Structure 1
């Protein structure tokens, strides 16, 4: 069992096409399922930059 607390994206549709996120003070983990099978870990600052970019581009 994963020690991280995972949260499903609020933009998730029905089925398996969901992103799950686990945050910490310095890292953000993104996974394809809960429990996670494939996990991408990035720095919190880099993840914040990604969110800013997505917001400014309208998610395109």
Structure 2
């Protein structure tokens, strides 16, 4: 199994409650929440883009 280099947003600061992301050599993206680091969501760049656009376009839905 490959070792992933996890990164968190600079907006997270020193907070431990954040989502981290890692890119694999195959081009897939891996997301995990800091409270549950063993649970990993794997997606593609277009999939993540669609998720972010959906979240941004859904005011009051979060």
Name the TM-score, length of structure 2 as normaliser. Answer: 0.60
> Which consecutive unaligned segments of at least 5 residues does structure 2 have?
none
Rg bigger for which structure?
A: 2
Where does 1:26-45 land on structure 2 (aligned, <5 Å)? 26-33=27-34, 36-45=37-46
Higher strand share: 2
> Which consecutive unaligned segments of at least 5 residues does structure 1 have?
none
Name the TM-score, length of structure 1 as normaliser. Answer: 0.61
Give the aligned length: 57
Deviation at 1:43, TM superposition (A): 2.1
Deviation at 1:14, TM superposition (A): 4.6
The two structures, once aligned, show a CA RMSD in angstroms of 2.7
